[in-house]
Amino acid sequence: MTLTDILPLVRQLRTLDKLRLIRIIAEQLDTDENISPLEPGKIYDMPTPYHTYGVAEILMNKLEVTDTDNKTF
Protein backbone atom coordinates (compact mmCIF):
# COMPACT_ATOMS: atom_id res chain seq x y z
CA MET A 1 0.00 0.00 0.00
CA THR A 2 1.33 3.43 -0.89
CA LEU A 3 0.89 6.85 0.65
CA THR A 4 -1.33 7.79 -2.29
CA ASP A 5 -3.65 4.91 -1.36
CA ILE A 6 -3.76 5.86 2.32
CA LEU A 7 -4.21 9.65 2.12
CA PRO A 8 -7.86 9.63 1.02
CA LEU A 9 -8.69 7.36 3.96
CA VAL A 10 -6.76 9.51 6.41
CA ARG A 11 -8.56 12.62 5.20
CA GLN A 12 -11.88 10.98 6.06
CA LEU A 13 -10.88 10.39 9.69
CA ARG A 14 -12.24 12.52 12.49
CA THR A 15 -9.83 15.03 14.00
CA LEU A 16 -9.35 12.97 17.16
CA ASP A 17 -8.49 9.87 15.12
CA LYS A 18 -6.03 11.86 13.03
CA LEU A 19 -4.29 12.99 16.22
CA ARG A 20 -4.16 9.39 17.44
CA LEU A 21 -2.66 8.34 14.10
CA ILE A 22 -0.01 11.06 14.38
CA ARG A 23 0.85 9.86 17.89
CA ILE A 24 1.10 6.21 16.75
CA ILE A 25 3.35 7.11 13.82
CA ALA A 26 5.54 9.39 15.99
CA GLU A 27 5.95 6.68 18.63
CA GLN A 28 6.89 4.14 15.96
CA LEU A 29 9.44 6.54 14.46
CA ASP A 30 10.85 7.19 17.92
CA THR A 31 11.54 3.48 18.43
CA ASP A 32 12.89 2.82 14.92
CA GLU A 33 16.65 2.73 14.69
CA ASN A 34 18.69 5.03 12.45
CA ILE A 35 15.90 7.59 12.17
CA SER A 36 18.37 10.38 12.72
CA PRO A 37 22.11 10.66 12.27
CA LEU A 38 22.22 12.59 15.55
CA GLU A 39 23.40 10.81 18.66
CA PRO A 40 21.52 11.28 21.94
CA GLY A 41 23.45 13.32 24.49
CA LYS A 42 26.01 14.58 22.00
CA ILE A 43 26.48 18.34 21.57
CA TYR A 44 26.36 19.66 18.02
CA ASP A 45 27.55 23.07 16.83
CA MET A 46 24.92 25.03 15.01
CA PRO A 47 25.79 28.03 12.87
CA THR A 48 24.03 31.21 13.91
CA PRO A 49 24.10 34.79 12.64
CA TYR A 50 25.69 35.99 15.89
CA HIS A 51 29.13 37.57 15.63
CA THR A 52 29.01 37.64 11.83
CA TYR A 53 29.60 41.33 11.49
CA GLY A 54 29.08 42.79 8.04
CA VAL A 55 26.90 39.97 6.78
CA ALA A 56 23.73 42.06 7.00
CA GLU A 57 25.27 44.74 4.82
CA ILE A 58 26.40 42.17 2.25
CA LEU A 59 22.93 40.63 2.20
CA MET A 60 21.26 44.03 1.77
CA ASN A 61 23.59 44.85 -1.13
CA LYS A 62 22.76 41.54 -2.80
CA LEU A 63 19.04 42.13 -2.32
CA GLU A 64 19.29 45.63 -3.77
CA VAL A 65 21.18 44.34 -6.82
CA THR A 66 18.65 41.54 -7.32
CA ASP A 67 15.75 43.97 -6.88
CA THR A 68 17.27 46.37 -9.42
CA ASP A 69 17.89 43.52 -11.88
CA ASN A 70 14.26 42.36 -11.68
CA LYS A 71 12.66 45.77 -12.26
CA THR A 72 11.32 46.45 -15.72
CA PHE A 73 10.65 49.96 -16.83
Delimit the domains of the chain by residue range: 3-35+47-70
Distances (CA, A) of 11 to 26, 29, 57: 18, 21, 47
The pLDDT value recorded for residue 28 is: 84
Return the number of other C-beta atoms located less than 10 Å from residue 18's C-beta: 13
Q: Which residue has the higher pLDDT, 31 or 4?
A: 4
Residue type present at position 41: G
Q: Kindly indicate the confidence band of residue 7, based on its pLDDT and cuts at 50, 70 and 90.
A: very high
pLDDT by residue (tens digit) across 31-65? 766 666 777 788 888 888 788 888 888 888 888 87
* pLDDT tens string 13-37: 999 999 999 999 988 877 766 666 7
pTM over 0.85: no
CB 30 within 8 A of CB 19: no
